[in-house]
Chain A
Amino acid sequence: KAGVTQTPRYLIKTRGQQVTLSCSPISGHRSVSWYQQTPGQGLQFLFEYFSETQRNKGNFPGRFSGRQFSNSRSEMNVSTLELGDSALYLCASSHDTGGVSYEQYFGPGTRLTVT
């Protein structure tokens, strides 16, 4: 079975621009979560989608948004980029069937650099 894929792998943007990152979960997984990893703040939860609905959201400003499509693929968008948004953005999918804590499988991440 193919793993979680994320595109693009690397991205360089300028302050004030917006960016869209894409994630394709493992086949059959309906839950997709997003995390931000930085040296200073570590790994932080952004949001989680299940069957096209956002079920949970972390403590990030409204510039960070996401969505999920009917095929479970997910995108996250960051508008008005700031230097502090430079990070590795990780997507994870899970074979969630009832809202309990299932293991999550992570993609390789998208490395975003904001200049």
Chain B
Amino acid sequence: GDSVTQMEGPVTLSEEAFLTINCTYTATGYPSLFWYVQYPGEGLQLLLKATKADDKGSNKGFEATYRKETTSFHLEKGSVQVSDSAVYFCALSTGFQKLVFGTGTRLLVSP
């Protein structure tokens, strides 16, 4: 079945460091890919999305490119802030609003 694999966390960075969170997927067909973020005690917020190969999703300084050849959708940010500390989830959907999530990666940013 469809699945998403994310790098284990926590990822610990200093403020202004470069961030990469790896995400690879397995899916039949051509999935849409998403990154969601969850702050403590809250639900999930959509961070960015890409719906076809080579699409780049971006939002709030975060970027991810849909790579069909490597079945990857890695999340990057050039300079993280303390306020970016949260859990990040990579997800895919092949239709009818069913999201398949990765296990999540906790990001801790220190001043």
A contacts, CB < 8 Å to B: 4, 31, 33, 35, 42-45, 48, 50, 55-56, 58, 90, 92, 94, 96, 99-109
Known A-B contacts A42-B104, A43-B89, A45-B99; the reply to A105 vs B94 at CB < 8 A is no
Main secondary structure of the interface of A (DSSP, over half): strand
Q: In the complex, what's the smallest C-beta–C-beta distance from A47 to chain B, in angstroms? A: 9
B11 is an interface residue with CB less than 8 A from chain A? no
Contacting residues, chain B, for A48 (C-beta < 8 A): 96-98
Known A-B contacts A42-B103, A42-B104, A43-B89; the reply to A56 vs B43 at CB < 8 A is no
Contacting residues, chain A, for B49 (C-beta < 8 A): 103
**B window 82-106: CB within 8 A of A:** 89, 91, 93-104
Known A-B contacts A42-B104, A43-B89; the reply to A105 vs B46 at CB < 8 A is yes
> When the two chains form the complex, which single residue of B34, B43, B98, B104 contacts A103, counting CB atoms closer than 8 Å?
B34
Report the separation of the CA atoms of residues A103 and B59 in the bound assembly, to the nearest whole angstrom: 14
Contacting residues, chain A, for B91 (C-beta < 8 A): 43
Report the separation of the CA atoms of residues A96 and B98 in the bound assembly, to the nearest whole angstrom: 12
> When the two chains form the complex, which single residue of A31, A50, A106 contacts B43, counting CB atoms closer than 8 Å?
A106
Report the separation of the CA atoms of residues A102 and B93 in the bound assembly, to the nearest whole angstrom: 9
**B window 46-64: CB within 8 A of A:** 46, 49, 51
